[in-house]
Amino acid sequence: MTRSAGKNTLLVMAFVLLSRVLGVVRDMVINQVFGQNVTTDIYTAAFRIPDILQYLVAGGALATVFVPVFTEYWSAGKERDAWKIFGSVMSIVACVALGLVIVMELAAAPLARFMNPGLGLQQHVVVSFWDGWRVLLHPENAPVEQRQAWEQVAQLSRILLPAQWCFFVGGLMMGTLNARHRFLIPSLGPIAYNGLIIIGGLSQLLVTENQRSITAMCWGALVGAVAGNFLLPIWELKRTGSRFWLGFDVGHPGVRKVGKLMLPALLGLSLSQLGFWITGSFASGEGTLSALRNAYNLTQAPIGIFAQASAIVIFPTISALAANKNWKEFRKEIHFGIRRILFLTLPASLLMAALAEPIITAIYFKGKFTQDAAGVFTTGNLLASAMALRLYSLGTFAWSAQAVLARGFYAMQNSKTPVVITTCMVFFFTGLCAFLPRVAELENYGLALALSIAGTLNMLIFFRTLQKDAGGLNLRGLLKASLKITVAALAASGIALLFLHFFWQLPLEATQKTARLHGVLVTLLASGSALAVYVLACLLLRVDELKSICDMFRRKKALEPTTLKPQN
């Protein structure tokens, strides 16, 4: 990793960290103002209709297939062609996005029923795929509370859907900026988005409790998408002198190449993103979807801060290496990228699983989150979110590694292979979602475990396939490094569990006011001690990634990939 790449990675990590912190604050506002109940389940479900559009193109395929083609022309000195491709693709995407948003607006009501067959039910029931068809065709047979919940989901979804146009077009503009190593403005987009949702939620504290409406947070999301994902990138493109022309030059070889890569990529979604969308179709019981959302969003923090930030920075580099047929350096970047990701996320994965209860207490245990439907104090929401967090965390390291592996395929302009792998895993994951909640000890928590199992298997298949396609990724060296990192991470999590045994107990009603402080102290002390043990264990085991990361933060002399020992 060069000095420039290291600085860019730190910049993106810092802004992703800020975005994730705001994401946690957003969830704190939701839980403390509205609780963890049917209302927040409806809010969570409302995002599922527009989110499928984001996963299909804006989040899952558009940037990953466009950036390598744009980089190929840009690296060859064909800047005019690169901008011509960008203008044509953006024009096509804008029109397609507008059409899709209009269709989804019209179909919001039936989609709300089909995608959330268990929404509105107070108790957990086993939900099957066929229940979606049942409530779609015969909604009149459902209880009144369910029909009301579906109607509210449709109303909120119609507010959120126009934001997807901004994600479609903005994602393309941000990908172009990243391809030119301009990472600042794309990193500010999610911050503006989460910030305006928080403002929408906090605005409800200004009215009486019976007048509060979660609709305000949906309007905040729409305004945030327009400001952060559309207006900011346009301003940056204009400021940096970008020259592009809107048009529909579908005959240009670059535009045709993007289209060729795009069609299969539409099916090759990121399972980590699509996974929570599928989960909602099998969730039932009051507050279940909200509990799963709280836990899922927390596990996305280390994935975003470490994996996504590194992947965003490495993607233009490996795309340029692939375009120039420099496969030796390409393999090095992928190999050492995976090792660094595992070094950062494997301990995070185990620590979040070990410290699930104090983490949830520290973040959410306040206001309506501590009450049941009757307003009585309870730790039920805490235990539900903690169990979900524990099971989601087991797959955090796998999703993080996959962020780099997936971009390896797309940098090689190979979108078919991840399509085949991910599509198969979607069916496998859906099967797990249908089976695991039937296990008495798991119930709804089986949905979280299903995502971790599918993610780990998906990561292993991705690695094995990319290793073959790229001509080898030094499997022996990676296994040796991974074993050392795993041993160090297990030692760290053991210390965290020791702290938990001696210093943690579930909050009682009498200690409710100090419960969050207790959760914060236990989380900080346990994780701090665990990280110290992790660093010490890495030093004793001579884990080379420790020095690599330290050098990057110190901004010392350029650190090349070969600084990490091959581990033969």
DSSP for 323-383 reads: HTT-HHHHHHHHHHHHHHHHHHHHHHHHHHHHTHHHHHHHHH-SGGGGB-TTS-B-SHHHH
Indicate the burial class of 139 (C-beta count within 10 angstroms; 0-12, 13-18, 19 or more). middle
How far apart (Å, rounded) are the C-alpha atoms in residues 358 and 553?
29
pLDDT beneath 50: ranges in the chain: 1-2, 58-59, 556-568
Is 4 within a domain?
no
Is 64 within a domain?
yes
Full residue range of the structural domain in which residue 77 is found: 38-267
How far apart (Å, rounded) are the C-alpha atoms in residues 433 and 18?
32
Is 61 within a domain?
yes
pTM of the shown model = 0.72
Dihedral sign for Cα atoms in the order 170, 173, 176, 181: negative
CA dihedral 66, 182, 95, 83 (to 10 degrees): -70
The count of domains in the chain is 1
How far apart (Å, rounded) are the C-alpha atoms in residues 283 and 149?
14
- How is residue 61 annotated by DSSP? I
What pLDDT is attached to residue 563? 42
Is 396 within a domain?
no
Tell me the residue type at 321. L
What pLDDT is attached to residue 417? 85
Q: Could you read off the pLDDT of 96-125 as tens digits, one per residue?
A: 889 989 999 999 999 999 888 888 777 767
Beta partners for residue 377, in sequence order:
371
- Can you tell me which residue has the tokens 């009603």? 509
Report the SS3 class of residue 270.
coil
Rounded to whole angstroms, what are the CA distances from 336 to 343, 434, 517, 518, 561? 10, 37, 39, 39, 7
How far apart (Å, rounded) are the C-alpha atoms in residues 151 and 156?
9
How far apart (Å, rounded) are the C-alpha atoms in residues 100 and 224?
20
What pLDDT is attached to residue 561? 41
Is 406 within a domain?
no
Is 68 within a domain?
yes
CA dihedral 399, 403, 404, 409 (to 10 degrees): 110
Is 151 within a domain?
yes
Is 102 within a domain?
yes
3-state helix vs strand vs coil in the chain, percent to 5: 80, 0, 20
Residues in the chain: 568
DSSP 439-478: STTTGGGHHHHHHHHHHHHHHHHHHHHHHHHTT---HHHH
Rounded to whole angstroms, what are the CA distances from 43 to 4, 40, 109, 297, 383? 41, 5, 15, 15, 21
- Can you tell me which residue has the tokens 């449709």? 154
Q: Could you read off the pLDDT of 405-453 as tens digits, one per residue?
A: 888 888 888 877 887 888 888 889 989 998 998 887 888 889 999 999 9
Indicate the burial class of 551 (C-beta count within 10 angstroms; 0-12, 13-18, 19 or more). middle
Distance linking the first and last C-alpha atoms of the chain: 20
- Can you tell me which residue has the tokens 């579906």? 150
- For the record, the structure tokens of 181 come out as 């190593």
